[in-house]
Structure 1
Amino acid sequence: MASLDSVLSCIDLNLDRSLDRLFDLLRIPSISTDPRYAEDCRKAADFLAGDLAAIGFEASVRDTPGHPMVLARHEGPAGAPHVLFYGHYDVQPVDPLELWTSDPFDPVIREDANGRKRIVARGAADDKGQLMTFVEACRAYKAETGSLPCGVTILFEGEEESGSPSLLPFLEAHRAELKADAALVCDTNMWDRDTPAISTGLRGLVGEEVVVKAANRDLHSGYYGGAAANPIRILSKIIADLHDADGRVTLPGFYDGVDEVPDDVKAQWNALNFSESDFLGEVGLSVPAGETGRSVLEQTWSRPTAEVNGMIGGYTGAGFKTVIAAEAKAKISFRLVFRQDPAAIRKAFRQFVEDRLPADCTAEFHPHGGSPAIQLPFDSPWIAAASEALSQEWPNKAAMIGMGGSIPIAGEFKNQLGMETLLVGFGNGDDAIHSPNEKYEMSSFHRGQRSWARILDRLGRGV
């Protein structure tokens, strides 16, 4: 414990220096989606590789067809676990620039109305501030003890904000170098400012576009109305059939692999004092619209969904045009949980549509990505170890939460490398990631470093 105490003191005493290093990284406009910033993306990769090398990692910048990866490794004590830490150094574009209150690549510290200090810059929370909390924890460990409590491999990519086209080929090509006992991902939030969170599950995703076609051209609704098949009406009915009166998805086999959340976990969720009315009220709603009898947290964390993300067909311009459209399109996304199979869901949806097509109609399908859900066992020793460490740092015990969104990298760590992923981050829900005036709380940056030091210490003692 004495060595951990000295590491935590080192973090406290060197907070200003760690902030300087973060600011240096934040000043690099590493926007991955814009080719004009390709050199800046490489500059950010070089910065991180050099910084990791300076604290004793074997670090290198690895070229890809897109932006480079940073890969670094540090051995740990014999018999200790080895973990793979993932983050991304690329950032979103800053538009609309006029809504920023300062230069997005000239980081500043501001105080909010409650006197809390916050770091304002593009990438402050997503993901440069988050990844640097881990780097700084490693730096403090090396400074105080000369080593790390467990083996660590670090992977920083530069294309997360532009779809990660190079990531899967990189994982496949460097499988041996990346293999570890577990992966750590920091691109997540706390439950609230005083309550850290471990995300035990991420919903998977299946995206599908369907095009229903009938006549060979748009038709006059006076001449052909009543006699001609109307793709908009047909597709609308098919979509309406996707749910029953209780909000359950009607695809055959859709709930295969969907488990019930254990009662003790539900009890913990209920203890989070989550306000369904506040959650919905913020967006102008009041009544949960998902499966009957399920709480909002269940609906968003542990239940699968089918949502229509867009529909188009016929005349949608100004004024009025009386046509029967030749085709209608819809974009559908399915969020998956537990052990649902993305391929099986896609196949079931396509068959569901085909079975409901009347004469003279055809359907085309266009896939838009698919990834399985990630679900750590609720009794995972990795969760238990991280929870113990986090609860020693923050005022409240770590919350075990689900996540409604999807982080495909976690699925690839499981599929390609056979590793479970522990998702621990220190962002807040109001950090305005991807938006003007993105910020990262100073408390998140400081206590995030201390939290990772505690987690590394705890993992080093075995799980």
Structure 2
Amino acid sequence: MSLDAVLSRIDDDLPQSLERLMAFLAIPSISTDPAYAPEVRRAADWLVEDLRGLGFTAEARPTQGHPMVVAHGGEGGRPLLFYGHYDVQPVDPLDLWERDPFDPQIEDTPEGQVIRGRGACDDKGQLMTFVEACRAWVAVHGALPTRLTLLFEGEEESGSPSMVPFLEANADELRAELALICDTSLYDTETPAITTSLRGLLGQEVTIRGAERDLHSGSFGGLAMNPIRVLSGIIADLHDQAGRVTIPGFYDGIPETPAEVLAQWERLDFDATAFLGDVGLSTPAGETDRTPLEQLWARPTAEVNGIRGGYAGAGFKTVLPAEASAKISFRLVDGQDPQAIRTAFRHFVETRLPPDCEAVFHDHGAAPASRMDISDPAFEAARQALSQEWPKPAAYIGAGGSIPIAGQMQQTLGMDSMLIGFGRSDDQIHSPNEKYHLSSFHRGIRSWARILDAIA
């Protein structure tokens, strides 16, 4: 009955929960623009005041950039750390917004009521689902269900430059048995999800240099080596006909996805044709012996993100360029070392250089993949709790992109993270007219209450 009382309180207090969220959304906490630094600080202070009202000891801690909000509350039970971020993306282009992005409102749409405003989904609305679940627990029982640490970041949308130093400096204080992160999405509108694997990311730029200057193709064509030709050959060699990356050692150490997880993915009935059809495509282009969801969530990639070389302006210029460049990114999975992949790629390029050409490399970011240990009983308990709230059973899923904080917590604090979010694929995060479905907010609060009851 204790959980039922908490859920009833959440339902009864939904109008007040929305009022608090609207006040929070109205603060333009844009972390990437120094002009908004006072507003970012105001959002941090707003959280501190709200959390103190729930009985947390809370404060805004200084960093080299924007503050970290740290709060502690509850006693006994399993110690948990909850992470979210209170900063938001810039709103440009402003003229594409249908209303002031910092004048949030509830709107009626054909898909139901939505909360419209910058940060509604990413990540203020998601963050507040957990806070409101805690509020209901305190209102009903006078205390939190377990020992909780809350960590709210103000720099996530600007690359989190202060996060790793802050984690390292405060590791003993922040370390818990498990982290909870609410910055992800539902699998679909009726199916909640726990993200258990995240691909890492490696960025590499390579420039092939040939002659000391651009050459006239009539005078030198056929005799002088063209760097674009060399670069094109290297790029063409990156994949075989089965869609596999051909860099030696690229797949070394990669574990197979557990059979029970693959079976869950199969039950999701993912329609690759429809997924690609939404962007004008039709045929999966990854490894031909892997399912589409494996290609998206559990297999590494090598993708060319941009090519530059020669003359690309209006008209025509018959030139052999002195150099040609490509930006190449690798999505990495568990078992791959980003620096080892970088070294292997460089060797791959250098072994394909003809005489008179050299390769110059420029390194971009590197972050390893993360895979969570779902043998921890808390994962299955949380999955069952989510399944009780939503129309369809919750699923363990992967994420094709990266959420660096999950990996940082593994590396710095030695903690796995349970990534649970309630966004939808059409919530337009980072874009004009961002929204968060009212049902996502309401059910999200109820979901966290159920999860806390199940794992605390």
**Superposed pair shares fold, TM > 0.5:** yes
Amino acid in the other structure paired with 1:67: H
Indicate conservation of the 8 Å contact 1:150/1:459, yes or no.
no
Query: 1:344 pairs with 336, 340, 346, which one?
Result: 340
Indicate conservation of the 8 Å contact 2:74/2:145, yes or no.
no
Query: 2:382 pairs with 379, 383, 386, which one?
Result: 386
Matched, 1:290 2:286: yes
Partner Cα separation in structure 1 for residue 108 and residue 221 of structure 2: 63
Matched, 1:277 2:276: no
Deviation string 1:6-33 (CA, Å, 9 cap, x unpaired) is 1111111110111111000100001111
Partner Cα separation in structure 2 for residue 244 and residue 261 of structure 1: 23
Q: Aligned pair in 2 of structure 1 residues 370, 382: CA closer, same or farther (>3 Å)?
A: farther
Amino acid in the other structure paired with 2:2: S
Deviation string 1:94-138 (CA, Å, 9 cap, x unpaired) is 111111111110011111124x11100000000000000000111
The residue that corresponds to 1:174 in the other structure is 170
Partner Cα separation in structure 2 for residue 409 and residue 215 of structure 1: 44
Mind listing any 5+ residue stretches in structure 1 that lack a counterpart?
none
Indicate conservation of the 8 Å contact 1:427/1:440, yes or no.
yes
The residue that corresponds to 2:85 in the other structure is 88
Matching of residues 214-233 of structure 1 within 5 Å? 214-233=210-229
Amino acid in the other structure paired with 2:73: H
Q: How many aligned positions are there?
A: 456
Q: Give SS of 1:368's match.
A: strand
Matching of residues 314-353 of structure 1 within 5 Å? 314-353=310-349
Amino acid in the other structure paired with 1:177: E
Partner Cα separation in structure 1 for residue 147 and residue 374 of structure 2: 25
Indicate conservation of the 8 Å contact 1:210/1:365, yes or no.
yes
Matching of residues 7-406 of structure 1 within 5 Å? 7-77=6-76, 80-114=77-111, 116-406=112-402
Partner Cα separation in structure 1 for residue 141 and residue 374 of structure 2: 33
Partner Cα separation in structure 2 for residue 150 and residue 326 of structure 1: 64
Amino acid in the other structure paired with 2:427: D
Cα RMSD, aligned residues only: 1.1
Q: Give SS of 2:190's match.
A: coil
Partner Cα separation in structure 2 for residue 397 and residue 328 of structure 1: 50
Query: 2:431 pairs with 428, 432, 435, which one?
Result: 435
Amino acid in the other structure paired with 1:48: L
Deviation at 1:263, TM superposition (A): 2.7
Identity fraction in percent = 64
Mind listing any 5+ residue stretches in structure 2 that lack a counterpart?
none
Deviation at 1:378, TM superposition (A): 4.4
Deviation string 1:350-370 (CA, Å, 9 cap, x unpaired) is 111111111121111111111
Q: Give SS of 1:392's match.
A: helix
Partner Cα separation in structure 1 for residue 93 and residue 207 of structure 2: 34
Indicate conservation of the 8 Å contact 1:4/1:453, yes or no.
yes
Q: Give SS of 1:280's match.
A: helix
Deviation at 1:75, TM superposition (A): 3.4
Indicate conservation of the 8 Å contact 1:336/1:373, yes or no.
yes
Amino acid in the other structure paired with 2:105: V
Amino acid in the other structure paired with 1:304: P
Moved more, 226-235 or 372-381: 372-381
The residue that corresponds to 1:445 in the other structure is 441
Deviation string 1:221-242 (CA, Å, 9 cap, x unpaired) is 1111122121111011111111
Amino acid in the other structure paired with 1:85: F
Deviation string 1:192-251 (CA, Å, 9 cap, x unpaired) is 222111111110111111111111111111111122121111011111111111110111
Q: Give SS of 1:91's match.
A: coil
Indicate conservation of the 8 Å contact 1:205/1:373, yes or no.
yes
TM-score normalised over the length of structure 2: 0.98
Moved more, 20-29 or 380-389: 380-389
Moved more, 260-269 or 26-35: 260-269
Deviation string 1:300-331 (CA, Å, 9 cap, x unpaired) is 01111000000101111111111111111111
Indicate conservation of the 8 Å contact 1:118/1:439, yes or no.
yes
